[in-house]
């Protein structure tokens, strides 16, 4: 995927194939025959080492589920974290490990996450006052996406361990999905209490590691690398119209409710009136943008995921499944269930 592509070309999002490479390394470390996965998911050696190659989020989730099935290890995401290196996060990872402090390194990862991943569900965030990093919700949870949460939280933890040379770096881990019966495995790996069924997905660092200077800290290289990250981020945003930006920020607001113009304007840092005018200049309006975004996402959820119709209705912010059914019938002239049968990708 080119860095100037608009965010709605892959509505559910995509990530760097560097993360797929980490998944394959973890699978191989667990004794799995990765040649089967490479063939099944049509992954080429060239693409797997390309910093610009992308894989759709749903396809990555299916790849992860296939790897877990192959290795019979439901905690494969932890193994992925253990094998993650700064370079696997691309340019942002290299910029992070040269930062003045570990806390600033994590801030770099969050700021430049768009360079290597884009998910319609939301964006990760940093809470400096709590020394914590939060990974957005990817509800509804199922066997296809548990490992995504595990791998992200474990990768952040591994990066901190890499930068500090310490293993006891965390105070707490919080995981949104319910326990899958491996609590001891998770607490042993993270070396701290792990709360399942929590209100968020996050790790909280101890004060010492948060303030520690990374082993690879280097002022000059950090400035050069963050400058390159900033240029790449600007290049990505350069190809976005106001409608593209609004659509990107609207999607996480959809879950369980219909977003308002006021809420979207706040996310964009502008006023409702200004946003209305800007959208009109782009040839659209808030209601049309909302409808188009739902339509685009609905088709992808049906084709690319195993989410139930009621779950998709919730993800799109409809009041109830019948409201989603009625809208889908209007968009495509067929019920969502029937359309899934007709067009589902194998």
Q: What are the pLDDT digits (tens) for 163-188?
A: 999 999 999 999 999 999 999 999 99
pTM: 0.89
CATH 1.10.10.60 boundaries in the chain: 242-343
Crossing angle for the helix pair 146-164 and 17-29, to the nearest 10 degrees: 90
What is the pLDDT, as a whole number, of residue 10?
Answer: 63
What is the pLDDT, as a whole number, of residue 2?
Answer: 40
pLDDT tens, the chain, 346 aa long: 344 455 555 678 899 999 999 999 999 999 999 999 999 999 998 988 888 899 999 999 999 999 999 999 999 999 999 999 999 999 999 999 999 999 999 999 999 999 999 888 889 999 999 999 999 999 889 889 999 999 999 999 999 999 999 999 999 999 999 999 999 999 999 999 999 999 999 999 999 999 999 999 999 999 999 999 999 999 988 878 899 889 888 988 998 899 999 999 999 999 999 999 999 999 999 999 999 999 999 988 888 888 899 999 999 999 999 999 999 999 999 999 998 888 765 4
Give me the sign of the Cα torsion angle 127, 78, 304, 20.
positive
Alpha carbons within 13 angstroms on the beta-carbon side of residue 264 total 30
Q: Before 232, cis peptide (omega within 30)? A: no
Task: In whole angstroms, give the CA distance from residue 222 to residue 205.
Answer: 22
CATH class of this structure's domain 242-343: mainly alpha
Kindly report, residue by residue over 129-158, the tens digit of the pLDDT: 999 999 999 988 988 999 999 999 999 999
């Amino acid at each position: 995927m080119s860095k100037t592509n608009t965010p709605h070309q892959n509505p559910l999002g995509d990530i760097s194939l560097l993360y797929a490479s980490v998944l394959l390394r973890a699978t191989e470390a667990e004794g799995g025959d990765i040649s089967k996965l490479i063939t099944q998911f049509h992954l080429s050696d060239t693409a797997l080492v390309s910093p610009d190659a992308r894989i759709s989020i749903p396809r990555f989730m299916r790849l992860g589920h296939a790897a877990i099935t192959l290795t019979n290890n439901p905690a494969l995401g932890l193994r992925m974290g253990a094998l993650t290196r700064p370079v696997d996060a691309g340019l942002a990872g290299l910029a992070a490990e040269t930062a003045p402090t570990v806390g600033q390194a994590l801030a770099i990862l969050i700021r430049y996450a768009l360079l290597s991943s884009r998910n319609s569900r939301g964006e990760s965030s940093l809470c400096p006052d709590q020394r914590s990093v939060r990974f957005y919700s990817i509800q509804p949870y199922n066997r296809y996406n548990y490992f995504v949460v595990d791998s992200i939280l474990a990768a952040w933890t591994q990066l901190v361990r890499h930068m500090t040379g310490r293993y006891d770096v965390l105070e707490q881990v919080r995981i949104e999905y319910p326990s899958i019966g491996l609590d001891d495995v998770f607490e042993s790996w993270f070396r701290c209490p792990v709360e399942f069924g929590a209100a968020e997905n996050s790790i909280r660092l101890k004060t010492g590691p948060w303030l520690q200077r990374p082993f690879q800290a280097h002022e000059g290289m950090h400035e050069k690398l963050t400058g390159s990250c900033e240029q790449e981020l600007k290049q990505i945003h350069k190809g976005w119209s106001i409608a593209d930006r609004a659509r990107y920020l609207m999607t996480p607001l959809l879950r369980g409710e219909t977003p308002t113009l006021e809420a979207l304007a706040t996310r964009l840092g502008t006023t409702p009136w200004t946003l209305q005018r800007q959208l009109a200049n782009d040839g659209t309006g808030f209601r049309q943008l909302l409808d188009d975004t739902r339509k685009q996402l609905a088709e992808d959820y049906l084709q690319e995921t195993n989410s139930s119709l009621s779950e998709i209705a919730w993800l799109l912010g409809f009041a109830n499944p019948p409201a989603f059914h009625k809208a889908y019938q209007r968009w495509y002239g067929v019920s969502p269930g029937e359309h899934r049968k007709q067009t589902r990708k194998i």
